[in-house]
Amino acid sequence: MSECIVGDDTGIILFIARNDQVDMMEPNAWVVMHNAKIDMFKNNMRLAVNQLGKVEPSQDPGWAINVDYNMSAIEYELVHVPSVAAGAMKDEKRSGGGGGGGGEAQEEEKEGEIAEEENEKEEGDDADKE
């Protein structure tokens, strides 16, 4: 197992190379990673390729690596969300709270109000004629 810095035009990150991946990771080498994932280690991100993934040699893509943004240097904090709050949020979604949906019912309601107003006008006009 070996640690090395990899990057692209969005930034750099610490990569944990395992087994035959170690041999491919040479300075200034270009590789393509398939099925890469982020692992958290001591509140920092590490990039790894899972068992189904692979690391393959590649050609220089022609863009510069953004070394100014090191994603492994950022310390993240895990925030626990109480399960009670999570359950309350699920109930809100079930009850229709939170927007979305219901648009058709509102449109039908407006159409019904317009029809009632037109009927009232017609009845008023008929009363005037008598």
Do 69 and 88 fall within a single domain? no
Q: 3-class secondary structure for 5-70?
A: EEEECCEEEEEEECCCHHHHCCCCCCEEEEEEEEEEECCEEEEEEEEEEEEEECCCCCCCCCCCCE
Cβ count within 10 A of residue 17: 20
Q: Note the pLDDT of residue 11.
A: 92
Q: Does residue 48 lie within any of the structural domains?
A: yes
Under the banding of pLDDT at 50, 70 and 90, the label for residue 38 is: confident
Average pLDDT value over all residues in the chain = 75
61: CATH: 2.40.50.140
Do 38 and 63 belong to one domain? yes
What average pLDDT score do residues 4-27 get?
87
Domain count, the chain: 2
Judgement on whether residues 13 and 62 belong to the same structural domain of the protein? yes
| Greater pLDDT, 94 or 3 | 3
Same domain? For 93 and 64 the reply is no
Confidence label for 35 from pLDDT (cuts 50, 70 and 90): confident
